Amino acid sequence: MASLQLCDGYLLSKPSVSPRNRLPQRISHRLIPKASASPPPPPPPSSSSSSLSLTRRDLLYQSAAVSLSLSSIVGPAKADEQLSEWERVFLPIDPGVVLLDIAFVPDEPSRGFLLGTRQTLLETKDGGNTWAPRSIPSAEEEDFNYRFNSISFKGKEGWIIGKPAILLYTADAGENWDRIPLSSQLPGDMVFIEATGEKSAEMVTDEGAIYVTSNKGYNWKAAIQETVSATLNRTVSSGISGASYYTGTFSAVNRSPDGRYVAVSSRGNFFLTWEPGQPYWQPHNRAVARRIQNMGWRADGGLWLLVRGGGLYLSKGTGISEEFDEVPVQSRGFGILDVGYRSEEEAWAAGGSGILLRTRNGGKSWNRDKAADNIAANLYAVKFVDDKKGFVLGNDGVLLRYVG
Cβ pair 223, 194 in contact under 8 A: no
Q: What is the pLDDT of residues 187-202, one digit of tens each?
A: 899 999 999 999 999 9
pLDDT at residue 234, as a whole number? 76
pLDDT at residue 161, as a whole number? 98
Better-scored residue on pLDDT, 144 or 50: 144
Cβ pair 368, 351 in contact under 8 A: no
pLDDT of 48 higher than 80: no
Q: Give the pLDDT band (50/70/90) at residue 9.
A: very low
Q: What is the mean pLDDT of residues 290-314?
A: 95
Q: What is the mean pLDDT of residues 289-302?
A: 96
- Grouping H, G, I as helix, E, B as strand and the rest as coil, residue 150 is strand
Share of the chain above pLDDT 70, in %: 77
Better-scored residue on pLDDT, 264 or 7: 264
Nearby residues of 90 by Cβ (< 8 Å), 6 or more positions away: 69, 74, 75, 77
Q: What is the pLDDT of residues 324-368, one digit of tens each?
A: 999 999 887 789 999 999 999 999 999 998 999 999 999 999 998
The rounded radius of gyration (Å) of the Cα atoms in the chain is 22
Give the Cα separation of 368 and 359 in Å (integer).
9
Give the Cα separation of 402 and 387 in Å (integer).
9
- Which of 19-33, 64-78, 171-185 shows the lowest mean pLDDT across its residues? 19-33
Beta bridge partners, 36, equal none
Backbone φ, ψ for residue 201 (5° rounding)? -160, 165
Better-scored residue on pLDDT, 68 or 316: 316
Backbone φ, ψ for residue 165 (5° rounding)? -50, 120
Q: What is the mean pLDDT of residues 310-330?
A: 93
Nearest to 219 by CA among 203, 240, 236, 235: 203
Q: What is the pLDDT of residues 155-168, one digit of tens each?
A: 999 999 999 999 99
Give the Cα separation of 402 and 249 in Å (integer).
33
- Strand ranges (E), 266-346: 270-274, 282-285, 292-297, 303-307, 312-315, 324-327, 336-341
Q: Residue type for 395, please?
A: N
Beta bridge partners, 296, equal 304
Mean pLDDT, the chain, integer: 82
Q: What is the pLDDT of residues 65-124, one digit of tens each?
A: 443 343 334 444 443 444 578 999 999 999 899 999 999 999 999 999 999 999 999 999
What count of Cα atoms within 13 Å lies in the side-chain half-sphere of residue 50? 3
Q: Give the pLDDT band (50/70/90) at residue 63.
A: very low
- Which of 3-7, 116-120, 269-273 shows the lowest mean pLDDT across its residues? 3-7
Better-scored residue on pLDDT, 114 or 369: 114
pLDDT at residue 390, as a whole number? 97
Cβ pair 94, 145 in contact under 8 A: no
pLDDT of 16 higher than 70: no
Nearby residues of 40 by Cβ (< 8 Å), 6 or more positions away: 65
Nearest to 202 by CA among 256, 164, 250, 282: 256
pLDDT at residue 309, as a whole number? 86
Give the Cα separation of 394 and 352 in Å (integer).
9
What count of Cα atoms within 13 Å lies in the side-chain half-sphere of residue 94? 8
pLDDT at residue 254, as a whole number? 98
Nearby residues of 314 by Cβ (< 8 Å), 6 or more positions away: 298, 302, 303, 304, 305, 324, 325, 327, 363
DSSP state, residue 370: G
What's the pTM? 0.79
Cβ pair 227, 20 in contact under 8 A: no
Better-scored residue on pLDDT, 143 or 121: 121
Give the Cα separation of 171 and 176 in Å (integer).
8
- Grouping H, G, I as helix, E, B as strand and the rest as coil, residue 374 is helix
